[in-house]
Amino acid sequence: MPMTRNDALALDAQDPLAPLRAQFALPEGLIYLDGNSLGVLPRRTAERVQEVVTAEWGVGLIGSWNSAGWMQLAPRVGDKIARLVGAGAGEVVAADSTSVNLFKVLSAALTIARTDAPGRQRIVSERSNFPTDLYIAESLARERGFELVLADADELPQHLDSRCAVLMLTHVNYRTGRMHDMAALTRAAHSAGALTVWDLAHSAGAVAVDLRGADADFAIGCGYKYLNGGPGAPAFVWANPKHAERFWQPLAGWMGHAAPFEFTPGYRPAPGISRYLCGTPAVLSLAALECGVDTVLAAEPYGGLPALRAKSVALTRLFAELVEARCPQLALASPREDDRRGSQVCFAHPDIAYPVVRALIARGVVGDFRAPDILRFGFTPLYLRFVDAFDAALHLQAVLEQEEWRRPEFNQREAVT
């Protein structure tokens, strides 16, 4: 029998992760399916940021770099993120943006590759990788004399040969939600003599990641999606300990110095991942990010990431099945297989994807559009319910059947889609 709304409510009543929803300030009546673009505000964040502003900054002033532990924020938050991505203590720092961190680690990987195997000239990546990753790679390839080679996901293994220096991939594809087998592709790259750089922007905090288990070489990730760190939150960076101290990263700023307050004119890199820091830590943003990461770590007593992943799989499967049954105009763009799908479901329509998303938002169901034809829906298991997935599918059906997407205001492109 088809699932009913009461069936969805029954699943929510049995959900062991249900108490975690109370951590978030969710607007009443809103179904938020865009946590893969910007996570929801944790209730603790506003209070914590206010504390940093009024007490630590307002009263403690510059002394708070010591008394409030501001100097330890980047590694402290990094250690918390490490627990979510299969890294060890002291191996991750939270700093800068995803793009800046990618520049750091890709530069380091290319330096290592050129030192160990000078004949390798290729950076291999997925054709549909997130554009900022490709732009950074294109820039570095031009500067360093490498070639950027793009391939469809299924064609990647055939490009892992003696010409490949670095395989650079996003673990979960931003457009389709397709999830790569990190361990298998890393093994294939290493067998070919290449290094791997992984972008965890759409996986950290939502799907299982085991950087050490996969023997990955470098990884970076985003703080404002599933980690709920707020708009523009700092990103994070990880280097396999076997690589961390081999070379300087290219942005040799004072916070990456072994002793920044010696104020010496020559650069001496800090040990380990600390050398991947650059400028002064963004204290307010790091404080907010720590609150967001804590919301994910709060799942540990309830089964941690395995429990989150199991709920994510169930939510995305339910939504995909409901929409396919009720909205034949849309084509499923995400993998049907649970183990190949991240924490999002995407549908495609060649003509009306954008206005349909806008019409849904007007109904209180927030997803987003990705050019040229993708309706994208993210499922954050910390705060989403099965009844949210059920109701969202019904709203989408109504938008299509009633042709609400035809309204002129829904066809006017906004700056952010």
Between the two ends of the chain, the Cα-to-Cα distance in Å is 37
174, 224, 347, 410: which one is catalytic?
224
CB atoms inside a 10 Å sphere around CB 142: 11
* Structural tokens at position 1: 């029998």
Query: Considering only CA atoms, which of 273, 191, 281 is closest in space to residue 238?
Result: 273
80, 178, 225, 385: which one is catalytic?
225
Cα 120 from Cα 254, distance rounded (Å): 32
- Verify whether residue 130 is a known catalytic residue: yes
CB atoms inside a 10 Å sphere around CB 232: 13
Cα 214 from Cα 235, distance rounded (Å): 21
Q: What is the DSSP string of 53-108?
A: IIIIITTTGGGHHHHT-GGGHHHHHHHHHHHHHT--TTSEEE-S-HHHHHHHHHHH
Query: Considering only CA atoms, which of 415, 382, 379 is closest in space to residue 172?
Result: 379
Query: Considering only CA atoms, which of 250, 278, 237, 219 is closest in space to residue 108?
Result: 250
- Verify whether residue 199 is a known catalytic residue: yes
Cα 119 from Cα 140, distance rounded (Å): 17
DSSP label at 179? B
Burial of 51 (0-12, 13-18, 19+ CB in 10 A): middle
32, 130, 347, 379: which one is catalytic?
130
Please give the backbone phi and psi of residue 242, each rounded to the nearest 5 degrees, phi first: -70, -20
Residue 365 β-bridge partners: 31
DSSP label at 178? B
133, 199, 217, 294: which one is catalytic?
199
Alpha-carbon distance values, 201 to 122, 147, 335, 406 (Å): 23, 24, 18, 34
Alpha-carbon distance values, 91 to 76, 205, 284 (Å): 11, 17, 22
- Verify whether residue 341 is a known catalytic residue: no
376, 377, 388, 390: which one is catalytic?
376
Residue 196 β-bridge partners: 167
Do 218 and 241 touch, CB atoms closer than 8 A? no
Cite the active site residues: 130, 199, 224-225, 376
